[in-house]
Chain A
């Protein structure tokens, strides 16, 4: 089953590049997404067998992230069909500066989307650290052309920064891989394979200095890819210049894949009894990310950039959760799930707003509730979800993390956490509510336009999932998250 999970998007991607006509190509995209989602759903029923001698295996955590990725991709694929129909080809006028630009060929876009899915799937099923590295680097390479869909100088700048900064970060993670191998090298005998189950089994025998150094490098390396401050500088540019479909996947699925890298090495550290070493660092990075995001969200003029900084904030929150340990880890993992769905939904809605209003500015966009009723409602709902209001999912996860901080007696951390959350709430609420309410500047927009179903339904489905997770966590999900939390110490 695992090989088919990988092959479906990979083969689909290669095929999509060669299909000439747009209609069949979009159908192929949706078909591949549906097939992948179907197989992923099947893995919850039937435990897939390890492949390739144990290098590829789907454990509980991997399955969790795989499901998120697959669901988001399905939503994005459906939305993408409507998006490509409108934006497809031909010259367009840039919304910010008014010049004319082209879009990339749709075949390239579709192919890269599917290859991106294949790479992300590979990340979730890799048990070997070397393979994990290859997969994460592959996601960077597959997503770079996606960011450069709109062919103009700003997206090129964003693509270049993304490519370079993430590649350098991931190179450091490769060094971390080698350090891990040194930590695992046998004392004049067989060395341990760099596969997660083997490492966890042999954890007490690992060389501690090298293990700690490896953890640091993984944290910095994959943390760059994840968007932890101060390594996040590529994130606002890339997530705001990419088309909304791509931003949804980047924020919702890709950041989780990078997180997986850090989580895997923390599992090894925890098994070796060194969990406490990493936790202080994780708390520090988490709070720093939240603080940096808070500073830049206040008064942010571009709503997509604001959503990007919100991703930085949420990555900070969940890192904080994992760093607190115990219940906090559960909260952090749950937050990863919640954030993915919420942020993806927000980006898809932002895409609708951008198409309609042709403006990225929070000042200029007004009256979304009137001009685009369904999207407007989702936009407002999304605000409450993303800032952690009940009854939505993020509220539960953020509360769990707060509780963990208080349980451990870390009042300072808890207070800083609450203050930053409040600041971010104020920042985002002023922007988003300002956009949702009021009357559109351009009177013609008030005439209720028909919103294509495919543009609204995926986002609405994601919102429904977020609402569901806020009131009821399915037992299978709960068990998976608890397993993961336990494995992290």
Chain B
């Protein structure tokens, strides 16, 4: 019988794989679906983490977060994408192959760094901290290295996923209201960002964030 750690390990490895797919994928629609899938995986992780908690907290939280990340966010983002009417390609600054190689170095770095941090007593799997660190770095990298505003939103979502994974893996005692509040904030943030992307497209006819450069202090 595969233990709790086994299940959690598999989910965490899948999360790593989804991050790599995000780094190497060129289609915006595919990227949005992968981020949604990552959210669903985090729901599984929540269930795996709170296996010994008899109350209904964990299933409710997993349900809400899966619903938000797996259903609501992709719906919002697809709507923004459809209204934006731009080429549905990612258009990176850093090529896909190089991005994946950089991702590999992030992974190695996170595994090394996590080995130096003294972990508190029970965590569901020793992989939680490195995977969360790695996903965080991937999220930040996506924000910086991709051209379109929508991919910046996706990078932000991946960053939030990573931090959520940290929370689920390490912390036991946060009141549910606060966790729900975090999720609510996230929802409103994505909602507002979706509206902003729509406005950016209407205003500029593109959603390339690197071309938003009218406000600057250096001339030229």
Contacts and interface: CB of A to CB of B under 8 A. Distances in A.
Interface of A: 128, 130-131, 133-134, 137-138, 140-141, 144-145, 148, 151-154, 156-161, 163-164, 167-168, 171, 174-175, 178, 181-182, 185, 187-188, 191, 193-194, 207, 209-210, 213, 236-237, 240-241, 296, 300, 305
Contact of A181 (B156, B170, B181, B204): B170
Contact of A148 (B121, B185, B199): B199
A175 B196 contact: no
Contacts of B174: 130, 181, 194
Given A130-B174, A131-B178, A157 B212 contact: yes
Chain B's interface size range is: 35 or more
B124 to A, nearest CB: 14
Contact of A130 (B170, B181, B199, B203): B181
Contacts of B143: 164, 168
A155 to B, nearest CB: 9
Interface stretch (B20-28, B78-86, B102-110, B160-168): B160-168
B12 interface: no
A185 B152 CA distance: 34
A178 B170 contact: yes
A141 B214 contact: no
A130 B175 contact: yes
22 contacts: A130-B179, A134-B181, A134-B184, A141-B188, A144-B196, A153-B204, A163-B196, A164-B143, A164-B152, A164-B156, A167-B156, A171-B163, A174-B182, A175-B136, A175-B163, A175-B166, A178-B170, A181-B173, A182-B120, A182-B170, A193-B173, A207-B120
A156 B193 CA distance: 11
B214 A153 contact: yes
B118 A209 contact: yes
A145 to B, nearest CB: 8
Contacts of B178: 128, 130-131, 134
B215 A241 contact: yes
A138 B156 CA distance: 16
- Residue with the highest number of chain A CB atoms closer than 10 Å, among B118, B185, B213, B215: B215
B63 interface: no
B114 interface: no
A6 to B, nearest CB: 14
Contacts of A209: 117-118
9 tightest A-B CB contacts, nearest first: A130-B178, A134-B181, A157-B212, A181-B171, A237-B215, A137-B185, A191-B173, A175-B163, A178-B167
Contact of B156 (A168, A236, A237): A168
A164 B136 CA distance: 15
B146 to A, nearest CB: 12
Contact of B196 (A153, A156, A174, A182): A156
Interface in B107-127: 117-118, 120-121
B192 A144 contact: yes
Contact of A168 (B117, B140, B214): B140
Contacts of A193: 173
A141 B185 contact: yes
B215 A296 contact: no
B196 to A, nearest CB: 6
Contacts of A187: 121
B217 to A, nearest CB: 6
Nearest to A237: B215
B47 to A, nearest CB: 19
Nearest to B172: A191
Contacts of A156: 196, 199-200, 203-204, 212
A309 to B, nearest CB: 9
A296 B185 CA distance: 34
B159 to A, nearest CB: 5
Given A130-B181, A164-B193, A174-B167, 9 more contacts: A153-B214, A156-B203, A157-B215, A160-B200, A163-B189, A164-B153, A175-B136, A178-B163, A191-B173
Contacts of A185: 120-121, 171-173
B182 A134 contact: yes
Given A152-B203, A237-B215, A159 B120 contact: no
Contact of B217 (A130, A158, A296): A296
A117 to B, nearest CB: 17
B209 A160 contact: yes
- Residue with the highest number of chain B CB atoms closer than 10 Å, among A144, A153, A167: A167
Given A171-B160, A191-B172, A207-B120, A154 B196 contact: no
Nearest to B122: A188
Nearest to B184: A134
A138 B185 contact: yes
Interface string B189-220: 10011001001100110000100111101000
B42 interface: no
A79 B159 CA distance: 40
B31 interface: no
Nearest to B186: A137
A55 B163 CA distance: 23
B149 interface: yes
A178 B166 contact: yes
A279 to B, nearest CB: 24
Contacts of B203: 152-153, 156
A259 to B, nearest CB: 20
Nearest to B178: A130
B128 to A, nearest CB: 11
B131 to A, nearest CB: 14
A159 B215 CA distance: 11
